[in-house]
Amino acid sequence: MIPRQNASNYLWIGVLLFGFASWELVARLRLLPSSNLPAFSSVLEVFLVSIQQPAFLFRIAHSFMNLLCGLVLAFSIALPMAFIAGSKNPFDVTMTPLVMIFGALPDLSFLPLLVLWFGAGDTAAVIMASVAAFFPIYFTVREGTKNIPRELYDVTTIFNSNRVSTFTKMVLPAISPHMFSGLRLAYDFDWEIIIAIEIATKVAGIGNFIEGQVSTGSLTQGFAAILAIALLAVAVDKTFFGTLESWSKKWS
């Protein structure tokens, strides 16, 4: 017997399967023309073949690497800035309004400029991804830093902690729940950004592949690629971010 609570945790799988079944039914009954909607079974078939092709996998890896580089770049700039903004008020009142103005602009509006400066390639894609990832990381880490109780700093001082261990053993774990949600948001944003850039600038990743397939009428192949990205995105979300989250849930 599965306890009721656990059973409801897996309800989403049932809903998903129902969605796929309805999709299959709509296609089989030809409620939509097959040139607009191939059957789910044929998409699955193509998907299973595609993921054994190195060229296909390489395209996914290419997009994923650009995304990761953007995320790491954003994290390494946003973390120290957000920490200083969260702990030093004069810096916060100067910096945060500027960050907010910058962040209010639609991220993709920078893309033509980035292409002009860096060419239509990986550099522009990585920088664009890091711009999009910057804001969720900055604001969550800043918020987390502001929420650290004054008393915890006193504890580190009383027990003679140096600056490095105060940061690594007190500040970082204290802000980690905020930081993890910021990273997760940034990761989700970045998938959208990366795919959009590839479609717009012909970077040879999976987004560009989908566009190529759909525009030449290979809808089944296009859907198979979308399915592949969805699976990768969900897998990383569930394993990597899921692990981080369950660690912080243990104590927070």
Partner 1 sequence: MKKHLELDNVTKYYAEQQKQLHALHQVSFDIDHGEFVSIVGPSGCGKSTLLKIIAGLDSPSSGEVRVRGSPVHGPQSKISMVFQAFGLFPWRTVLENTEYGLEMRNVPKSERRDIARHHLEMVGLGGYEHMYPKQLSGGMKQRVGIARALAVDPEVILMDEAFSAIDEVTADVLREEVTSIHKETGKTFVLVTHNLPEAIELADKVVVLSSRPAKVKKIFQVDLNRPRDRAHELFIHMHRDILHLLKEELENTLLRHKLRGVKELSDIHDMENPGKP
Residues that bind partner 1 (CB under 8 A): 149, 151-152, 154-161, 165, 169-170, 173-174, 176, 248, 250-252
| CB distance 226 to 23 below 8 Å | no
| CB distance 36 to 27 below 8 Å | no
Handedness of CA 107, 112, 115, 117 (dihedral sign): negative
Given the complex with partner 1, which of 36 and 160 has the nearer CB atom?
160
Smallest gap from Cβ 189 to partner 1, in A, equals 27
Smallest gap from Cβ 158 to partner 1, in A, equals 5
Smallest gap from Cβ 171 to partner 1, in A, equals 11
Range list of H helices, 119-241: 122-146, 150-158, 163-166, 172-201, 206-215, 219-236
Smallest gap from Cβ 107 to partner 1, in A, equals 33
Q: What angle do CA 48, 51, 53 make, to 5 degrees?
A: 120
Closest CA to 194 of 235, 134, 133, 117: 133
Given the complex with partner 1, which of 15 and 164 has the nearer CB atom?
164
Given the complex with partner 1, which of 114 and 141 has the nearer CB atom?
141
Smallest gap from Cβ 89 to partner 1, in A, equals 13
Given the complex with partner 1, which of 176 and 181 has the nearer CB atom?
176
| CB distance 196 to 211 below 8 Å | no
Q: What angle do CA 124, 79, 190 make, to 5 degrees?
A: 40
Given the complex with partner 1, which of 239 and 252 has the nearer CB atom?
252
Token output for 71: 């995320």
Given the complex with partner 1, which of 148 and 233 has the nearer CB atom?
148
Smallest gap from Cβ 247 to partner 1, in A, equals 8
| CB distance 148 to 91 below 8 Å | no
